[in-house]
Amino acid sequence: MATATYPPPPPYYRLYKDYLQNPKSAPEPPPPIERTYVCFGANYTTDYVLPSLEEQGVRRLYPNGPNVDFKKELRSLNRELQLHLLELADVLIERPSQYARRVEDISLIFKNLHHLLNSLRPHQARATLIHILELQIQRRKQAVEDIKRRREEAQKLLKEALGTLDGQ
């Protein structure tokens, strides 16, 4: 009995046998998935929606609304986290049996911090994309300048070569 290290390719590879001669002979890719789909038994959506803290059953520790000062709120939550960590250390030293409430408070602060940071992800993605595009523009401008400089050098060399030919 023969065994193979790798399984054979799936049968649809035959659809691409004439691809090199005629690239249009390959089948069209499947359409993009829209709305919801099931993967490994879980439902997913293609819409990017950050669920609110209330939908997740978590109490919000910062004000809700479109005009949230993220920097101020992140600093505030960070200070509150530091305070609660110090309080947890005190409780663990003095009353070790009463640590659970402090851990829950710290967990709540972490969840709020995490949610606040996740709400900044679209802005971060836009800023990263803008930065990448600006770098591409800069590189292309440098390439154009380099081409212009080399063209001028080549024209100069051609003029010198014509001058030496005419001078003989």
Report the alpha-carbon distance of residue 91 to residue 48 in Å, rounded. 41
Q: What is the pLDDT of residues 49-78, one digit of tens each?
A: 788 889 889 999 988 888 889 999 999 999
Domain ranges of the chain: 12-127
Torsion of CA 59, 65, 66, 68, to 10 degrees: -70
Report the alpha-carbon distance of residue 23 to residue 17 in Å, rounded. 10
Q: What is the pLDDT of residues 78-104, one digit of tens each?
A: 999 999 999 999 999 999 888 999 999
Report the alpha-carbon distance of residue 156 to residue 158 in Å, rounded. 5
